[in-house]
Structure 1
Amino acid sequence: MPSKYGPELRQRALRMLAEARPERESLTAACRHFGGLLGVSPETLHVWQHRYDIDTGVKPGTSIDMGEENRRLRREVTELRKAHEVLKAASVYFAKELDRPRTK
């Protein structure tokens, strides 16, 4: 699903949160303050900050790059399993052909 907000706004918001975090009592308070200024819901800012922390390794979790790689590998495994089934069926068919007696 395409993002409602552009990457520039996201980067700007994350910079503002990083700069103001020491001055605020919590991340939630900073998100409320800057959400009103930027026209973004505080929950969205909180999610952006959480995702940024995971992507930079500050918090444990699956980064966006790793998630994309996992999806790509799952698709590849599915395709390989289908190809394997086709090859297995073909080998059974040709094995039966070899066992059939020939008439001349």
Structure 2
Amino acid sequence: MPAPRKYPPELVERAVQLVIEKRRNEPGRSAVVREVGELLGIHPEVLRHWVNKADGGVGRGLREPAGDAERVRLLEEENANLRRSNSILKSAAVIFAAEIEHGNSVD
């Protein structure tokens, strides 16, 4: 039985994308993986492994997505994640509003 995953797949994907974007925007910087790892609470070597795996192998430079189809797929996936998050936040807002309303009517 494999060990349980410590990080959700959405976090892994977003962390890798952040590294790729930062390296594209700041090509001379060498500490990007460490900075992103610290920002997201991920050990830099774990993040470096994810980035290399996403790139197709250790030691190869990061490359852009394969093309428009890949970019569209990634954007659609991100859109779905954002819609899910938005739905959760809306539900939480309704619950908190009900609690506030209930609390005010008791006084």
TM-score (normalizing by structure 2): 0.46
Which structure has the greater CA radius of gyration?
Answer: 1
Larger relative contact order (Cα-Cα within 8 Å, sequence gap ≥ 6): 2
* TM value normalised by structure 1: 0.47
